[in-house]
Every structure is written in structure tokens, then in C-alpha cells.
Chains A and B, each alone.
Chain A
Amino acid sequence: MPSPLEQVAWEPCILEPQRDRALEAYARRKQGIPNPAISYFAPVPWLARALVDLHPEYGLLLRLDHGVMDLVNLVVCQENSCRFCYAAVRAMLWAQGLSRARIEQMERDLLRADLPPRTLAAMAFGRSQSRTGPAGARAAREALARAGVDAEEMREIAFAAALVDFSNRAHTIAAVPVRPLERMPDRLHTRLMKPLVNFLIRRSRSYGRAQPLERIPEAPHRRLLQAYAGSPIAPALGAALEAMWASPVLARRCKLLIFAVVARGLDCEACGPEIVEALRKEGLSDAAIAEVLTHLDGPDLDRVERQVVSFARETIWYEPAVIQRRARALREHLTGPEVVEAIGVASLANGLCRLGATVLEPHENPSSQ
């Protein structure tokens, strides 16, 4: 069952896997089956957990059909040329009982137009959010509305696509090995265990329940979290963001700079001002911020910041093998956990910036919130 992405060049993995039994057990409990990538991100626990906790199919959706979400996943993975995530989605579909022929049929349908109009609109929306980012956000929203999708469902589709953007980048930049997943449906023991895997996956997938947003973390992305008030997405995303900011591997200012560079590269008017405001609170002057965002460098940056700022802009638009080689070069300057965290923060920034541009109105003053 060769996938269209199997010809995408993929470098050897740049991270050393690190066994963390507690994390592995956590992922297994939540996803029903072992997560083959979790050990690569174990040095930065918030990242490993976010890659599990933010998956929409585990209780974060209220309205969006899981089948439609799977198709949005597939097109965004294709868009980002992420062999790992694409193979994972295919393996999940196969384990859930879809025959190889049916999966191949679905892949052909992604390029043709014989799916229901709402599904096609959701796929086009996910593709646009990932591909053109803020520049195409308004047109994508309008197209979805024309297909009869309401605002709440639109926000869920946008979150599903943003999560895939995040996950795709994390797995692609780290060059997590893909062959075991790509070969999974061909192996005898996985074929024999397919009914059990299917049962475990189905048991772990669920829709969420509406829940009030009791607390918004004191950090950027308050407006984004408010946009999801009432949805289980808000507390899950809030917790992931809090854990990311609290992580001691890279300094908070360094992480903010990554977010700022990604927002600048995407020309995102929705997220950029909030991040710049947070950088001011970290003691960077307006002139220093402008210098960094204009030239990706500045005298106020320390050694690590200088490296991650240049790296962050590479994660906005990339070819897998090129970004993988650049991430490998980063290892010469940063420690192992610093590289993992830089990959994680840049990946999350790309997902959230594209999401913010889609679900938030620009030009609002963040300080008034």
C-alpha cells in the first residue's frame, strides 16, 4: 500500500529516543495504543503530552464528525508533506477497519470532488489554513460559511487543522522514523492484531462535553482561548500553553521570540500584537523587538536566542529534508533538550498563529482584553 508521500525525502532522525515509562503509559492510556514517537519528545515533557492531549479525537470535539476530521488530517498532512503523520493517519484508518482499497479510494477522493460539499469545504478550509495561513483566512472562512458550516464547527475544523500543523512540524523537523508506521499494515502480527487495535482505538476516541472556561492563563493567546470558551479545547490548550511557558529548558523570552518571528513571517495581525506586548514585559525595548523582527538578529539576543530566532523562520514554509538538515545543524549550538523544545515551540507557534488568524478578528487591541 504505497502512499503518495513515500517518495518525500526524509533524513535520519535528529533526536535520540529516551524511554520514559510514565509518559509512554500516559499516551497509551489516552490513545488506546502505544505512541511510537513519544520517546523522541520525552526530554521535553510538555511537548510529548501536548502531542497527545491536543489531539481532537480524544474528547475535544463537540460537533465535528470524526470521519471529516480524519480527512482534514489527511489533506493537511499532505499539504505539509509529513510522512510520519500521514502514515499514522493511514494506519489508524486501516486499523479501524477500512480496507486498503477504501483508503486508497479516499486518497483519490482528496484530489477529486465526489465527497459531500460540507466535507469538501472542511478539507479545503484545512488545506488553506495550513497552506496560505493568514493571507487566505478570510476567503476560507467565507467558503466554509457558504457550505453551511456554522461558526462553532468552523472553530473545531480550524483547531483540528492547527493541531495537525503543529504535529506535522514536530514530527517532520525531528525526522521521526517513518518506516515502521508505513509498513504496519503489511506486517503479519499487526494484521493479526487488527481487531484488537481497532477496539482499543474506538474505545479511546470520544466526543467531549461543553465545559465553562474557568480560568485563562496569564500569558499570550488569551484571546484565542476566549474564542474557544465553552469548548473542551480551551482548557486543554490552556494547560498545554501553561506547561510550555513553565518549562525551564528555554527561557520564556526565547520562546516568545520564536512565536514573534513566526507571527511576523506569517504576517499575522491577530497574534503578533499580543506576543510583542509580552516581549515588552520581558524587558525588550520596542527598538530591540523591531531589530529582531526585521533582521532576525540583534545585539540584545543571547547565544541561544540568536540560533532559535533564525531557526524559527525556517519552520514557516519548508521542504522536509531541508528543514531536517537545518534542525540537525542546530544541534551543534544547542543542547539536546533545547533542540527538542525549540522544535516544539516553533511547531506550536505555527499551528496557533494559523489558527489565530482564522478564528480571531485582527486589529483588536490586545491590551483591552
Chain B
Amino acid sequence: MSWAFGTAALIVLAVLLAALYRQSRRAASLQVQLDAAAIELQHLQEACSRLAPAGVVQRLVAGGGAEADTAAERKVVTALFADLVGYTAMSERLEPAVLARVLNGYFQRASDVVHEHRGHVSTFLGDGILAYFGAVQPNPWQCDDAVRAALAMRAAIKDYNVELTREGLPPLGLGIGIHRGPGLAGMIGSRERREYGFVGPTVNLAARVQSLTRVHGVDILVTEAIRERLDSRFVLAPMPAEAVKGIAEPVVTYAVREDAKAGG
């Protein structure tokens, strides 16, 4: 009797130990997953801070996204709209794979330049780039930064064209429009997909001004709102006022020649 009881007790003990072992293994595995998730969350939060203002990221993390929906802010931002000249013709002549490579090389160079000048690339629209200065972090020097970024993009495209020509590919041309004004900044998009963006007439006018670069035969145009806040050492040339779609008054623009401070 006592032998049977002892055996049963041993079996129960073995089962309990096995269960305990399984549970401890499971707990250790969960701990590792939790550690990895915590580190991943930290990295994600740091990465997000470069795409949206820190306050918005903080609210997104804390409120699961719901609170950030209602947290759009009024801001004065400088919008830079850049577009490739002759892209449509080029897209008809080049193989899609070659076209994608050329386009990616341009996007990479332009993004690096924007980032280097404290801007934030919001969207790639076909062959266009929309970037903001002063949207993610307060930036009282946003006009100077945006125009210096445009001049650096001009230089970067020039260098890139040397590479393209060496490969027998057509060189790229660039048109850039820059405008500064108020708007609403916040998380924009559908429930499934949203991004930090800026809405208001400022963005539309920057795009319209970009299209005027073809009319005036120049590569960088800024509006009066930019000119009046710009360092006087930038060399600008006034352009004739032009009517643009959606704006009642003709728009006065200035072509940017060089940054005298940087020696051209």
C-alpha cells in the first residue's frame, strides 16, 4: 500500500516538476520577447521622432493613436516642391528598370540634401518631392534653410548628371518652388494608413510656383513671403507676375541665383 502511495506521489511530483519546468521555460521565452519588443518600441519611437514632431509621437505612443487624431496644430511652415523637368518624355524612352534606378538615385540625393538642411521629406509624388521646413521641429530659420536646400539640390543634380551622362543616360532637369505660410499640421490619412502632413494653401502655392519655373525658364523660384524673410545675401532676380490656377492675384516670384554667403 505504502509502495503504491510512494509511487503515485513520485509520479505527481514528476508531473508537477515537468509543468513547473515548462512554465519557467515559457516565462523565460516571454521575457526575451518582451525585452525585444521593448527595445523595438524604443527604436520605433526614435525613428518616428524624425518623421513627426516629438509631441505627436508621444501622444501616439501614449494614446494608441486616438488622441493624436485630434491634435492637429496650426503652424507656419516653408514648403519646397521639386519636380523633374522632362520626366514624361524620359519615362517613354527608358526601360522601366532603368527609369526606376535613375529616379531612386535622384530621390536619394534630394532626400539627403533636405535632411542635411533640417527639412523633412513628406511625400514622393511621381517624380516630385514635397518637403517641409519647420513642420517637425520649430525652426525660425526655415526660409534660409529651404533655399539653401534648393541650391544644394541644384548642385547635387549637377553631380548626378555627370554620372548619368557617363552611362549614356539623359541628364535630369529640376524645377523647385518654395513658399511659406500657415496651415494645419497633424496626422492625415485613412484609419489604415496615415502620415504626418501639412494641409493648406501654402502647399498648393509651392506646387504652382514650381510649375512657373517652366514659364520663366529658371530652376528655383521663391514667393514674396520667402523673399521678405530671406537673408539679403542670397542673390535673387525678380520675375514677372504670373497668374496661376486657383489663386486670384498674379503671383510674384523671384529666381534664386546663388547664396553669396556660401560663395555661390
A316 to B137, CA, bound (A): 10
Residues on B with beta carbons closer than 8 Å to the beta carbon of A296? 141, 144
Contact status B138-A127, CB under 8 Å: no
Chain B interface residue number, banded: 20 to 34
B170 adjacent to chain A (CB < 8 Å): no
Residues on A with beta carbons closer than 8 Å to the beta carbon of B144? 295-296
A331 adjacent to chain B (CB < 8 Å): no
Residues on A with beta carbons closer than 8 Å to the beta carbon of B261? 297
A319 to B139, CA, bound (A): 16
A266 adjacent to chain B (CB < 8 Å): yes
Contact status A111-B58, CB under 8 Å: no
Residue of A104, A128, A266, A297 touching B58 (CB-CB under 8 A): A128
A118 adjacent to chain B (CB < 8 Å): no
Residues on B with beta carbons closer than 8 Å to the beta carbon of A131? 49, 54-55, 58
B41 adjacent to chain A (CB < 8 Å): yes
Closest A residue, CB atoms, query B53: A132
Q: Closest CB of chain B to A33's CB: distance in Å?
A: 28
Q: Flag the segment in B31-39, B177-185, B206-214, B216-224 that touches A.
A: B31-39
Q: Closest CB of chain A to B116's CB: distance in Å?
A: 9
A358 adjacent to chain B (CB < 8 Å): no
A185 adjacent to chain B (CB < 8 Å): no
A 257-269 binary contact with B (CB < 8 Å = 1; else 0): 0000000111100
Residue of A4, A104, A135, A267 touching B140 (CB-CB under 8 A): A267
Q: Closest CB of chain B to A287's CB: distance in Å?
A: 12
A107 adjacent to chain B (CB < 8 Å): yes
Closest A residue, CB atoms, query B137: A317
Q: Closest CB of chain A to B77's CB: distance in Å?
A: 14
B258 adjacent to chain A (CB < 8 Å): no
Using A4-B39, A265-B138, A266-B138 as known contacts, say yes or no to A108 and B54 having CB atoms under 8 A apart: no
Contact status B46-A295, CB under 8 Å: no
A96 adjacent to chain B (CB < 8 Å): no
A264 to B261, CA, bound (A): 22
A296 to B43, CA, bound (A): 33
Interface of B is mostly: helix
Residues on B with beta carbons closer than 8 Å to the beta carbon of A267? 138, 140
Query: How many chain A residues have a CB neighbour from B under 8 Å?
Result: 28
A135 to B229, CA, bound (A): 23
A155 adjacent to chain B (CB < 8 Å): no
Closest A residue, CB atoms, query B115: A322
Closest A residue, CB atoms, query B55: A132
Contact status B42-A78, CB under 8 Å: yes
Q: Closest CB of chain B to A320's CB: distance in Å?
A: 11
Closest B residue, CB atoms, query A264: B140
Q: Closest CB of chain B to A201's CB: distance in Å?
A: 27
Kindly identify, within residues 19 to 73 of chain B, every residue whose CB is under 8 Å from any CB belonging to chain A. 34-35, 38-39, 41-43, 46, 49-50, 53-55, 58
A 94-133 binary contact with B (CB < 8 Å = 1; else 0): 0000000000100110011000000000000001100110
A171 adjacent to chain B (CB < 8 Å): no
A45 adjacent to chain B (CB < 8 Å): no
A108 to B36, CA, bound (A): 10
Residues on B with beta carbons closer than 8 Å to the beta carbon of A264? 140
A81 adjacent to chain B (CB < 8 Å): yes
Residue of B55, B58, B141 touching A313 (CB-CB under 8 A): B141
Q: Closest CB of chain A to B194's CB: distance in Å?
A: 21
A276 to B218, CA, bound (A): 40
Residues on B with beta carbons closer than 8 Å to the beta carbon of A128? 55, 58
A78 to B45, CA, bound (A): 11
Contact status B54-A111, CB under 8 Å: no
Residues on A with beta carbons closer than 8 Å to the beta carbon of B231? 294-295, 297
Closest A residue, CB atoms, query B231: A295
Residue of A81, A108, A294, A317 touching B46 (CB-CB under 8 A): A81
A265 to B137, CA, bound (A): 10
Residue of A4, A108, A127 touching B34 (CB-CB under 8 A): A108
Residues on A with beta carbons closer than 8 Å to the beta carbon of B50? 319
Residues on A with beta carbons closer than 8 Å to the beta carbon of B42? 4, 78, 111
Q: Closest CB of chain A to B226's CB: distance in Å?
A: 13
Contact status B140-A265, CB under 8 Å: yes
Q: Closest CB of chain B to A146's CB: distance in Å?
A: 15
A4 to B39, CA, bound (A): 6
A136 adjacent to chain B (CB < 8 Å): yes
A365 adjacent to chain B (CB < 8 Å): no
A183 to B41, CA, bound (A): 24
Residues on A with beta carbons closer than 8 Å to the beta carbon of B139? 265
Residues on B with beta carbons closer than 8 Å to the beta carbon of A369? none
A294 to B234, CA, bound (A): 14
Kindly name the residue among B34, B42, B49, B139 whose own CB sees the greatest number of chain A CB atoms within 10 A: B42
A367 adjacent to chain B (CB < 8 Å): no
Residue of B41, B43, B46, B138 touching A135 (CB-CB under 8 A): B138
Tell me the A residues contacting B by CB distance below 8 Å: 4, 7, 78, 81, 104, 107-108, 111-112, 127-128, 131-132, 135-136, 264-267, 293-297, 313, 316-317, 319
Tell me the B residues contacting A by CB distance below 8 Å: 34-35, 38-39, 41-43, 46, 49-50, 53-55, 58, 118, 137-141, 144, 229, 231, 233, 261
Beyond A112-B38, A135-B138, 7 additional contacts (C-beta under 8 Å) are A4-B39, A127-B58, A131-B55, A132-B58, A265-B140, A267-B140, A294-B140
- 20 example contacts (A-B, Cβ-Cβ < 8 A) are as follows A78-B42, A81-B46, A108-B38, A111-B38, A127-B58, A128-B55, A132-B54, A132-B55, A132-B58, A135-B55, A136-B55, A265-B139, A266-B138, A294-B231, A295-B141, A295-B144, A295-B231, A317-B118, A317-B137, A319-B50
Minimum-distance CB pairs A-B, first 10: A295-B231, A131-B54, A4-B42, A317-B137, A108-B38, A4-B39, A132-B55, A111-B38, A267-B138, A111-B41
